[in-house]
Amino acid sequence: MALPQVQRPSYLIIGAGAFGAPTALALKRAEPESEVTVVDRTPFPCPMAAGHDLNKIIRADYIDLMYMKLALKALELWRTDPLYSPHFHNIGYLYSYDEDFLKEIIARWEQLLGKGNAQSFLLDPVEARKKFNGVFEDSDWSMVTQCLYSPTAGWADSAAALQSVMQAAVDLGVRYVDNGAAKVLFGEHGNCTGAVTEDGRTLTADRTILAAGAWIPLLLAESAPDVPEIHTGERLIAVGAPMCAVKLSDEQLEKFKECPVNALLAPLAAECIPPGDKGLLKCTYDTGFSNKVYHEKSRQEMSLPPSKISQSTWSQDIPQTLKDNLKSVKNELFGGWVDDIEPESYRLCWDGFTLNQDWLICPHPKADNLYVAGGGSFHGFKFLPVIGELVVQMIKGELDEEMTKRWAWDGPREGAICPAYTPHKDLGDLS
């Protein structure tokens, strides 16, 4: 007599970025017998994804204790796990900032690790200018009152790290479909049954995890245009952050050889990640822009990523105003000696952004078997080594109580974790 076949649990993950790829890996590790399918718009990693970048900052300095704990765990894996460590560059992180803010970071370190055990330390701005091969000697620190140096931090080759994580998942048996999801599918009782791809294929699963970053609002509005309680509303919107890549000469690269990652408070909030193997210096203007459009099907105005691929990948296709801002940011970060170095390319990096930059990692309360994993809010990538396990814990109902509350669909949304990118202007208002 033949034994009855046991149905294997199935999961569909929409999006293979910083939330989707590690979730696929974590699910397959936790449930080797399960069927896990990932769908995204291109072969992995998708160049439109926020995580597909030259590099991303890896740090554990947070004012928020919950994220500091998580980031510290992730940082250890960036340093030691063979899946992540080849992509991590431990070059340190210098904050040129406001003294009160930096002292708060030290206080959180000591709250977590004990007095005198902070992993970062204050550094007088005069001394900081003398260090790091003098790369900050001419920087515009007119509004800087203190520096903080984090020797354990650095940056990751983000596109390569995403590639490695998704490949590790595929090697374990995860199926990858390189055709984007056009809609999430709902059954007659409102439960989620899977998705349909842009070329018309139907993908069904017991559970669907929506991890499409800045495209989550659009997918939900397209999928259930007449059911507003399915939509993200203001709880998650698409926001773009402008950045540029600057090609350096051999002589200039020598100048940068001791340069850490740097965050500068003002006049224009800015960050830079020094050159890696590609010889490209990345400068980011730390502010966010919405892109409000009218969505015909759902009859609402929404902030969505632009439909042109060139407006979410490295190109020349950003407004001239932002190009000018980025040149100012570059000069502010390093001074007049970089004035004549022109950026090679530009990018608007689009991410899902929440009201207080807490993530959304939760069941969708209005659709059974649909889960949301997103809202990275420009500080999610550093958690790549741990975020998949958190999503799996959420699906199984095993997530920490504080995280469950804060990452819920209708969580409290108090405070601000990473407020710099809160949009104050719309892309349509720029020339």
Q: What is the pLDDT of residues 311-346, one digit of tens each?
A: 999 999 999 999 999 999 999 999 988 988 999 999
| pTM for the whole structure | 0.96
Domain 10-429 annotated CATH 3.60.20.10? no
Strand partners, 289: 240, 425
| pLDDT at site 340 | 87
CA dihedral for 53, 57, 63, 65, sign (positive or negative): positive
pLDDT for 295? 98
pLDDT at 4: 54
Structure tokens at 207: 């559970």
Query: What is the DSSP code (8-state) at residue 39?
Result: E
Q: Which residues pair with 243 in a beta bridge?
A: 284, 347
3-state secondary structure of 177: strand
pLDDT under 50: residue ranges of the chain: 1, 3
Tell me the Cα Rg of the chain: 22
Per-residue pLDDT tens for 266-303? Answer: 788 999 999 998 899 999 999 999 999 999 999 999 99
- Cα 398 to Cα 35, 122, 133, 304, 394: the distances in Å are 21, 38, 48, 32, 6
- Residue 161: predicted pLDDT: 98
Buried b (16+ CB within 10 A) or exposed e, 217-252: bbbbbbbbbeeeebbbeebbbbbbbbbbbbbbeeeb
Q: How far is CA 309 from the centre of its chain?
A: 18
Are 384 and 247 a contacting pair, CB within 8 Å? no
For residues 252 and 280, the answer to whether their CB atoms sit within 8 Å is no
pLDDT at 1 (0 to 100): 47
**How far apart, in whole angstroms, are the C-alpha atoms of residue 45 and residue 36?**
17
d(CA 391, CA 14): 13
What are the extents of the domains in the chain? 10-429
